[in-house]
Structure 1
């Protein structure tokens, strides 16, 4: 999402998310601390597309560890990772993001599964230990700069 330059400067920093677990308020996840060079605008854009989340869970993407927001689809998680790091690019013109087009079939191995299975990235919820073995065409992961 593009933001008008003058509007972006007037926006307050993103509001912290809080999570209430068994009546206890859990501190908000500090994305600025987790992603050292992320802008307030990128955080606002990410929060616009995500369901509420309270933690980033580690998963494997093509053999590398990345952290995606819980309570969200793999699709939205990869979009989030791209906004935060620039390591994921998505050709949005290819996808419906609703499961109808079936073009986001990604080979995923869930914890406890013996092998990878084709799953829709837009319909598969992020969980710890999930492994993305092959991305659908239209997703590009450039990984860490080594």
Structure 2
């Protein structure tokens, strides 16, 4: 079997491994194998084909790694958007107190036009009507808030 066919088979196997494992170095080795394939077609000896494999693989790693890192960071940033739904979407949101929160009692606050029952985490604090609060937790449909 000719050397270029062997390099082609190895490159194909490495590409399959890359698809399955998503390891950048296997793709770089596959690119190196393609470089060795070209060297084999030019009639270069086996030792030099291996040298070409090493050099092209390292060059591919130097070129491809920053590209894949940038792509991964951009993709990760899009996936890590705040996609919370339901009650979890209220955590960290700001609300305006519409009914004074007395110590140990429930008050009311408005978030995006919705009126919620609210309480403070410490039963000794009073939050006046019109003050801004931040939602820190919830229990059923009662929000726990603290002054912003």
Q: Per the shorter chain, which TM-score range?
A: under 0.3
Bigger helix share? 2
Higher-Rg member (1/2):
2
Bigger strand share? 1
